[in-house]
Amino acid sequence: MLVARGVHKSFGAFRALQGVDLEVAAGEVLCVIGPSGSGKSTLLRCINQLERPDRGAIWIDGELSGYRRIGETLHALDDLAIARQRLASGMVFQRFNLFAHMTALQNIIEGPVTVQRRERSVVTAEATALLARVGLTDKRDAYPSELSGGQQQRVAIARALAMQPKLMLFDEPTSALDPELVGEVLAVMRDLARSGMTMIVVTHELGFAREVADRVVFMDRGAIVESGAPADVLVQPQHARTRDFVAAVLK
């Protein structure tokens, strides 16, 4: 579903990504862990084309992201073409980014109706089912200000799913939540993983990663240091930097 080859990204003198190579199979749940500033979020933003890599290439479901190849030359896509490609992946951020003036239901249907030009009645039925899936049937007419942080994040997940993406990206989706609200969001993500959705999850929730991930990647200083099954990376890491990180998080 995803292939990244030699992805580099710098912000001024800071090298956020330094030659990242990554493959994610369809239906795989990949958890990405690592310290702050290690490049985890930048990698997600490059996958979703919120940032353009300086070097390297990314393919989603076989389609080259951000460029069109004509002969031996790559031509950058325009904004409209990039927006079309971006529909292949749904992204859930640390902050919920819901439209404050719209109800939960309206937040979910806005993208499919406005961007995808889909029939409102069909989208509304799908959105109602998604609200049930994330446990918020009774909150369909509530505004974001009337919802807890965990409820807002669950609406954000439903909103991303409403666009019918092939790949879901989660950028530390529980980091802005009070501790007692983390579980309700992780429960929705567990259900999504069990359904067969391809997921890349940047997280510090190592218990969730151990339980749900097919594979865990540890990043540091813009590079993948270690990759493997959760039992290997989280329980018996081979690299000293991974061991130090896991020990610090689990203290």
Q: How far apart, in whole angstroms, are the C-alpha atoms of residue 38 and residue 236?
A: 21
The contacts found for 110-114 with CB under 8 angstroms, 24 or more apart, are 110/159, 111/159, 111/162, 111/163, 112/162, 112/163, 112/164
- Average pLDDT estimate for 195-200: 96
What is the share, in percent, of the chain residues with pLDDT greater than 90?
89
Q: How far apart, in whole angstroms, are the C-alpha atoms of residue 54 and residue 177?
A: 33
**pTM for this prediction:** 0.94
Residue 229: what pLDDT?
A: 96
Residue 73: what pLDDT?
A: 84
Per residue in 28-66, pLDDT tens?
A: 999 999 999 999 999 999 999 999 999 999 999 999 999
Residue 195: what pLDDT?
A: 94
CA 24 and chain centroid, separation: 13
Q: How far apart, in whole angstroms, are the C-alpha atoms of residue 43 and residue 49?
A: 10
- Average pLDDT estimate for 83-93: 93
149 has a pLDDT exceeding 90: yes
